[in-house]
Structure 1
Amino acid sequence: MKTLKKKRRVQVIAIAAVALIAATALIGYGMRDGINFFRSPSQVAAEPPAPTEVFRIGGLVEAGSIRRGEGETVRFTVTDGGASVPVTFTGILPDLFAENQGMVGTGSLRDGVFEASEILAKHDEDYMPKEVVDALKEQGVYQEPGGS
């Protein structure tokens, strides 16, 4: 009698372990495209990612770099003070998108140009995404809001 109980207990534990492993694998498989890593322009210049990798890039829009005129396509350069990366975006930019302002873009790097599928701009005059602030501080060019 005890042997049968022990055998059932081992079977239940084994089935539960297999189910847990399968669930973890399915969750990982489902999230593989939903995770976008952040990179600063200096990191992109130092180690360019594969053309198929989708990631986020952030920094300041370089002064004088915004070029419009190819339909809805806009070209500009994003910098963190250490390196600059050219960006193209087709679509409507956020209202607060401007030169010398913080931005974060999602897309991929092809032939040295970041092709953005989404552009986010800062919310108000004091806000900048944490990743952008960290990248600018790392380069030594970050200025506190309200400072000159």
Structure 2
Amino acid sequence: MAPVPILWLLLACGLLGLGLVGADVDGLLPAAVVALGLSLATVWWPLPPLLQLGLLVGLTAVGVLGLRRWSGRQRHRSLAPAETAEVISGFAEGDTGRVRWQGQSWSAVNLKGGQPLPPGSWVTVMGRAGNQLQVMEPGGD
């Protein structure tokens, strides 16, 4: 069986790999950072397995909550006109979904509610509120 630090390192690499291929899960990056830290910590200190798992869950939760709090404090940023984003998912049943903008996946709200936006279509980014983009179909002024 592989030593514990190597298992934590493999978990960290796997989580980072998921992030690189586009997995959109809250806590993915904080969990990868915590797993990397546990890999280093278990090299020097033999921590009990339950403590290791508790640290992974607890520190990941602290990281996610800290990132959400920081994101909520960010001011609204104005955007250059006519920026576009590609619809990834959602917008079929409701006014919210996900878009790919500037190479990253974003939560978005359709300003022209009731219009389905199929995946693969392009939308105009009209603004941003916190970590959610405000989009509408091109020509939907």
TM-score category of the 2 structures, normalised to the smaller one? 0.3 to 0.5
Please give the TM-score of this superposition, normalised by the length of structure 2: 0.35
Please give the TM-score of this superposition, normalised by the length of structure 1: 0.33
Where is the helix percentage greater, Structure 1 or Structure 2?
Answer: 2
